[in-house]
Amino acid sequence: MFLLSACEPKPASQAPGGAAPATAEAPAPALAGPSLAGAGTTVDLAAMRGKLVLVDFWASWCEPCRREMPELEALYKRHQASGLELIGVSMDEARGDAEAFLRDVPVSFPMIFDEGQALAKSWSPPKMPTLYVVDQDGKVAKVIAGEVKFAELEAEVTQRLGGG
């Protein structure tokens, strides 16, 4: 038996129109979509400009994603009042799979269901999970492909929020 340290996503084609994938120091691609919370709400990265935003691409079938979700929730709760936002992006093929996952592993931060993989195509996460740190100016400051080292992420978030 073996365990994967990161889950490989299903291949996504190049970003629409030949746009570059989300990379460090580049402006973050657009990110908006229907909330998994329902009620016709939309989650939009552009509305969070001026805040530090973590964008987490995940899938219900990804075991590292399952392990990280409670730690992401705890990080979000610790720093939300200081200006941290977090957006989860489900890359599941079926919305019901993402909803079932979130019933088992509930979180308070907004989640988008990436129907048709349009966001994955424009952001091009290299593996599951992938976490993007988007700074207050809307630029991708860091890309973490694979499991997050939370002590390092905690230090980076604290520093970027002006606390260290």
pLDDT at 12: 42
Residue range 83-122, pLDDT digits in tens: 999 999 999 999 999 999 999 999 999 999 998 999 999 9
Please tell me which residue, 21 or 163, carries the higher pLDDT value: 163
Cβ pair 109, 86 in contact under 8 A: yes
Parse the chain into domains and list their residue ranges. Answer: 49-160
Single-letter code of the amino acid located at 1: M
| CA–CA separation, 105 and 113 (whole Å) | 16
Strand intervals (E) in the chain: 32-34, 42-44, 52-58, 84-90, 111-113, 130-134, 140-145
Residue 74 vs residues 77, 84, 135, 149: alpha-carbon distances, Å: 5, 12, 20, 14
Return the closest-CA partner of residue 34 out of 122, 95, 75, 83: 95
pLDDT at 7: 62
| Cα first-last separation, the chain | 42
| CA–CA separation, 123 and 126 (whole Å) | 9
* 49-160 under CATH 3.40.50.12780, yes or no: no
> Is the confidence at residue 3, as pLDDT, over 70?
no
